[in-house]
Amino acid sequence: MTYDVLAIGNPVYDIIITPYVRSRGRVLSGCSVNASLTLRRLGFKRIALVGTIGRNFLDRFKRELRRYGISNFAISVTDETGGFELIYDEEGNRELHVLGIAGKISFHDIPDEYLDVRYILLGPILDEIDYSLVEYLSSTTKAEIFLDPQGLTRIVTKGRVQRVCDRKYISEIVKLVKYVKPNEIESYVITGIRDPLEAAKTLVAWGAEVGIVTLAERGSVAYDGTSLYRIPAYRTMRAVDPTGAGDVYAGAFIAKRLEGGSIASACLFASATASIKVEHCGPEFSIKRKDVEERYKAIAHEMDILKG
Ligand SMILES: Nc1ncnc2c1ncn2[C@@H]1O[C@H](COP(=O)(O)OP(=O)(O)OP(=O)(O)O)[C@@H](O)[C@H]1O
Ligand SMILES: [Mg+2]
């Protein structure tokens, strides 16, 4: 079978504390998981997931993933389960404390049958994906590779996550992928450039085909080598937990591209879908096409496209 999407990155179990909600214990999250669930909820069935998890959460993870309709996964067992305690302040800034660190992912962890795939989402949480894995994927598959670089910009010191990255190293990875989507802080750490549009252009100058920078409730910007896009966020009054909004954006962007949508429409669709996520805490929510389409229509006329 040809898979639609292979999502690579460690699942995590997080504790989330925002000014509005607090998760009940540790809840399932992680870029690979949140993006996969989004694609599943948008109707895609041929999804595979690869990552590592501790034995303590293994059975729960398998149960939860199957309940959400994803049955193709290759999970290696490591000593700890990845996860953060995420604490948000009133301005939406978050601090991450480490609850556990899972293992690295190597090409041995990826079943050959998963390589017959149209899109690969790379969603590392904490340095579990390295250059050699990306190089392997880009040389052995025909898939379009989408990188959410969050986990390449984090290091842990004394249990707290700090932002750093080796610019030369990450630019070599960016060269191998088609799409790269940092959030605002990550794009600054990666490129050293504060202006998100300029940062998106830099990612393209490094070799990506499309650079996208997400700006939380201020929307996102994208550059595809010819046009610059400013994509509005949908204005929701019910933003209780932004965790995973970027991951949902990634999943929905890929969904729209799989359906043949343009970059502009994939970004709008991603923004509309991500706005549903922020209204919920944890993985337990549905995404209705009708709601996404309504939000898409509400923001589409506010989008700016400039020749870049
Ligand atoms: N409060 C909000 N209201 C509406 N849309 C939002 C809100 N927050 C985020 N979004 C949408 O989600 C997208 C991604 O958000 P953000 O920039 O916070 O990602 P992120 O920091 O990578 O999140 P995470 O790493 O937790 O998945 C934004 O570009 C926007 O379209
Ligand atoms: Mg993110």
Cα dihedral sign, 185-191-193-196: negative
Residue to mutate, 10, 189, 249, ligand 1, most ligand atoms under 8 Å from C-beta: 249
**Ligand 1 center from residue 27 Cα (angstroms):** 19
**Ligand 2 center from residue 66 Cα (angstroms):** 24
Report the alpha-carbon distance of residue 183 to residue 241 in Å, rounded. 16
**Ligand 1 center from residue 237 Cα (angstroms):** 14
In this structure, the strands spanning 12-17 and 27-29 are antiparallel
Protein residues with CB under 6 Å of any ligand 1 atom:
150, 183, 214-217, 219-220, 233-234, 236, 239, 242-247, 249, 271, 274-275, 278
Q: Whose CA is nearest to atom 4 of ligand 1?
A: 275
- According to the model, what pLDDT value does residue 107 have? 97
**Ligand 2 center from residue 69 Cα (angstroms):** 23
Least distant ligand from the CA of 213: 1
Report the alpha-carbon distance of residue 181 to residue 246 in Å, rounded. 8
**Ligand 2 center from residue 1 Cα (angstroms):** 30
Q: Which residues surround ligand 2, an ion (CB under 5 A)?
A: 150, 183, 246
- According to the model, what pLDDT value does residue 67 have? 97
In this structure, the strands spanning 220-223 and 227-231 are antiparallel
Stretches where the chain sits below pLDDT 50 are none
Q: Number of helices (H) and strands (E) in the chain: give both, helices first.
A: 9, 16
> How close are the terminal C-alpha atoms of the chain, in Å?
40
Q: Whose CA is nearest to atom 17 of ligand 1?
A: 216
Residue to mutate, 125, 275, 291, 299, ligand 1, most ligand atoms under 8 Å from C-beta: 275
Residue to mutate, 91, 271, 292, ligand 1, most ligand atoms under 8 Å from C-beta: 271
Q: Are 247 and 28 in contact (CB under 8 A)?
A: no
Q: From the CB of residue 115, how many other CB atoms can be counted at a distance below 10 Å?
A: 18
**Tokens of residue 65, six digits:** 């993933």
Cα dihedral sign, 123-237-94-230: positive
- According to the model, what pLDDT value does residue 160 have? 87
Q: How far is CA 146 from the centre of its chain?
A: 9
At position 90, the amino acid (one-letter code) is E
Could you tell me the domains of the chain? 3-307 (3.40.1190.20)
**Ligand 1 center from residue 63 Cα (angstroms):** 28
- According to the model, what pLDDT value does residue 92 have? 86
**Ligand 1 center from residue 138 Cα (angstroms):** 28
- According to the model, what pLDDT value does residue 53 have? 98
pLDDT 10s digits, 234-288: 999 989 999 999 999 999 999 999 999 999 999 999 999 999 999 999 999 999 9
CA distances from 83 to 16, 169, 219 (A): 10, 25, 26
Q: Which of 32, 49, 34, 42 is nearest to 259 (CA)?
A: 42
pLDDT 10s digits, 95-120: 999 999 999 999 999 999 999 999 99
Q: Are 222 and 267 in contact (CB under 8 A)?
A: yes
Nearest atom of ligand 1 to the alpha carbon of 271: 31
- According to the model, what pLDDT value does residue 213 have? 99
